[in-house]
């Protein structure tokens, strides 16, 4: 509850004190909406005679999951205090996977979902939780490449988000002035004084003269048809699109995308919204720039101009693998959206300082405490299996970061964790409480092992992720720095070990 709601509640209760409340201070995660955790923390001061009934027995999660969640939340001060427990078995250890980068992170979780399904489980029993909506793009891409349907719970898929569709419409108009749908979407986005009446007149002129909206705009501006304000606003828009069209056909796609976002006023427009949603939209814009920076055309689009190839790719990603309501599909959602839900298998990705906990909370004890409560909520969504994933490098905000593991990982008792792939720098430095890795790479017929650095003539530098097969059918999966994750037939790959 927020301050007003609590005051209203006290007025309704009056002097009788006849009041019954249910709440969990460890799951108070909506401070950014105005919720005040102090309301439940001070309840016993305001109602000293109230009785408390602690509901600590848990019927959802295994013993290991509960022990880990209890250990994390215990680091918050000023709690009312509780210790979840279960009569069920400890179950599987929590799986900690340190990925090479965000693509390896996504590839690993997709493989675990495949294994779960092969063992008789359902895709819908798997939930992927992330701190920021922008993190979903790479995961969506990996799921689509695996032909695995998914649903974004409580939100939209990356290329369906309004701020992304706005940028794509600008790019479509840069590539093709005759795209009427793109024209109508962005002609007044952000608002630039082109109203509904002006658009109606444009449509009518275009229809009567068998023209596109762009052609109609040029005609009516030249004829001085509009009042000065509307005419100047429309002319300014046409001039903007012309100025965004690169003179150099080899202009990098990410530079063009960044130019559209900045010169089109889209970043400034969303920066005016200082809420968490506004920040999320800016993060999505930055992730779109990341997407264009790492984009590689498919075999079907390799002969197209790069911009056209990317727009074709975006259109396909917006239309493919969107699961029907009744379809068995992987569940993607933010940690906030996960509250109140439960799943047999939960993947919490991006467990890194600056991402989770968020960079904005590191210097604010109260906000950091809320991030820890959010972590607690995420962990306790899992019934049987909990995977915690972090990366050694992550391409974020236009640059490659080398993040450190989230402090929340270090708060989990070592006996509750199984490291699938250990972070070398953490183990060698002696600064981690994590155990030594329990899974090590085995020598195989390919002569390559996960973690080896290699170089490919076309794709450049990369890291070996996995190998399979033998002889002429041997394949190697390499996560390339600029081209992403690819499976290659070893006999033809001509990989050079660095």
Q: Determine which of 78-82, 210-214, 365-369, 430-434 has the lowest per-residue pLDDT on average.
A: 430-434
- At 433, is the pLDDT very low, low, confident or very high (cuts 50, 70, 90)? very low
In a domain, 82, yes or no: no
Is the predicted pLDDT of residue 148 greater than 70, yes or no? yes
Instruction: Based on the fold, state whether residues 150 and 251 are members of the same structural domain.
Output: no
In a domain, 21, yes or no: yes
Instruction: Based on the fold, state whether residues 130 and 187 are members of the same structural domain.
Output: no
- The residue from 299, 315, 331 where one domain ends is 315
Instruction: Based on the fold, state whether residues 201 and 337 are members of the same structural domain.
Output: no
pLDDT tens readout for residues 172-215: 999 999 999 999 999 999 999 999 999 999 999 999 999 999 99
Instruction: Based on the fold, state whether residues 294 and 185 are members of the same structural domain.
Output: yes
Question: β-strand 460-468 against 475-480: which pairing, if any?
Answer: antiparallel
CATH of the domain at 183: 1.10.486.10
Is the predicted pLDDT of residue 322 greater than 70, yes or no? no
CATH of the domain at 353: 3.40.50.300
Instruction: Based on the fold, state whether residues 330 and 464 are members of the same structural domain.
Output: no
In a domain, 330, yes or no: yes
- At 299, is the pLDDT very low, low, confident or very high (cuts 50, 70, 90)? confident
Reading the block at residue 158, the tokens are 């990356």
In a domain, 444, yes or no: no
Instruction: Based on the fold, state whether residues 328 and 289 are members of the same structural domain.
Output: no
- At 320, is the pLDDT very low, low, confident or very high (cuts 50, 70, 90)? low
Instruction: Based on the fold, state whether residues 288 and 209 are members of the same structural domain.
Output: yes
Instruction: Based on the fold, state whether residues 206 and 169 are members of the same structural domain.
Output: yes
In a domain, 64, yes or no: no
In a domain, 37, yes or no: yes
Tell me which residue range forms the domain holding 235: 162-315
Q: Determine which of 293-307, 332-346, 357-371, 470-484 has the lowest per-residue pLDDT on average.
A: 470-484
| pLDDT of 379 | 98
| pLDDT of 17 | 67
Instruction: Based on the fold, state whether residues 218 and 271 are members of the same structural domain.
Output: yes
The count of structural domains within the chain is 4
Is the predicted pLDDT of residue 425 greater than 50, yes or no? no
Q: Determine which of 119-128, 146-155, 229-238, 296-305 has the lowest per-residue pLDDT on average.
A: 296-305
In a domain, 144, yes or no: yes
| pLDDT of 20 | 87
Cα gap 131→119, rounded to integer Å: 29
Instruction: Based on the fold, state whether residues 178 and 285 are members of the same structural domain.
Output: yes
In a domain, 434, yes or no: no
Instruction: Based on the fold, state whether residues 256 and 276 are members of the same structural domain.
Output: yes
pLDDT tens readout for residues 96-112: 999 989 999 999 999 99
Q: Which residues are paired to 464 by β-bridges?
A: 478
Reading the block at residue 407, the tokens are 């402090």
Cα gap 436→423, rounded to integer Å: 9
- The residue from 413, 429, 445 where one domain ends is 429
Instruction: Based on the fold, state whether residues 166 and 129 are members of the same structural domain.
Output: no
- The residue from 36, 53, 70 where one domain ends is 53
């Amino acid at each position: 509850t927020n301050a007003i709601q609590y005051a209203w509640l006290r007025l309704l209760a009056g002097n009788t004190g006849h009041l019954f409340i249910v709440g969990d201070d460890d799951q108070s995660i909506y401070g950014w909406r105005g919720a005040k955790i102090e309301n439940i923390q001070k309840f016993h001061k305001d109602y000293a005679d109230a009785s408390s009934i602690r509901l600590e027995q848990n019927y959802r999660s295994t013993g290991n999951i509960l022990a880990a969640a209890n250990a994390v939340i215990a680091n918050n001060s000023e709690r009312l205090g509780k210790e979840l427990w279960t009569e069920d078995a400890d179950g599987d250890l929590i799986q900690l996977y340190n990925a090479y980068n965000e693509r390896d992170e996504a590839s690993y979780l997709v493989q675990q979902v495949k294994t779960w399904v092969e063992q008789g489980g359902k895709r819908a029993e798997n939930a992927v939780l992330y701190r920021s909506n922008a993190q979903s793009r790479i995961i969506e891409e990996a799921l689509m490449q695996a032909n695995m349907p998914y649903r974004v719970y409580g939100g939209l898929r990356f290329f369906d988000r309004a701020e992304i569709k706005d940028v794509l419409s600008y790019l479509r108009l840069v590539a093709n002035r005759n795209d009427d749908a793109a024209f109508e979407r962005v002609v007044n986005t952000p608002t630039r004084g082109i109203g509904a009446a002006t658009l109606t007149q444009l449509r009518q002129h275009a229809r009567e003269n068998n023209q596109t909206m762009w052609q109609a705009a040029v005609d009516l501006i030249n004829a001085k048809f509009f009042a000065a304000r509307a005419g100047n606003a429309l002319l300014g828009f046409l001039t903007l699109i012309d100025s965004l069209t690169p003179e150099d056909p080899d202009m990098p796609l990410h530079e063009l995308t960044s130019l559209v976002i900045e010169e089109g006023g889209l970043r400034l427009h969303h920066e005016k919204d200082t809420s968490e949603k506004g920040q999320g939209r800016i993060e999505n814009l930055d992730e779109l720039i990341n997407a264009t920076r790492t984009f590689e055309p498919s075999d079907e689009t390799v002969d197209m101009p790069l911009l056209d190839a990317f727009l074709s790719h975006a259109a396909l990603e917006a239309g493919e693998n969107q699961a029907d309501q009744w379809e068995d599909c992987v569940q993607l959602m933010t940690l906030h959206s996960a509250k109140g839900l439960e799943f047999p298998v939960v993947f919490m990705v991006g467990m890194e300082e600056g991402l989770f906990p968020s960079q904005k909370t590191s210097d604010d004890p109260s906000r950091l405490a809320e991030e820890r409560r959010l972590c607690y909520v995420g962990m306790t969504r899992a019934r049987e299996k909990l995977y915690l994933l972090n990366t050694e490098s992550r391409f974020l905000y236009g640059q490659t970061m080398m993040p450190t593991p989230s402090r929340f990982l270090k708060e989990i008792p070592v006996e509750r964790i199984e490291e699938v792939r250990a972070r070398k720098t953490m183990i060698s430095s002696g600064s981690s409480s994590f155990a030594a890795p329990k899974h090590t790479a085995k020598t195989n017929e390919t002569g390559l092992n996960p973690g080896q650095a290699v170089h490919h003539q076309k794709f450049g530098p990369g890291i070996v992720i996995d190998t399979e097969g033998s002889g002429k059918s041997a394949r190697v999966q390499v996560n390339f720095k600029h081209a992403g994750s690819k499976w290659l037939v070893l006999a033809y790959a001509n990989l050079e070990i660095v």
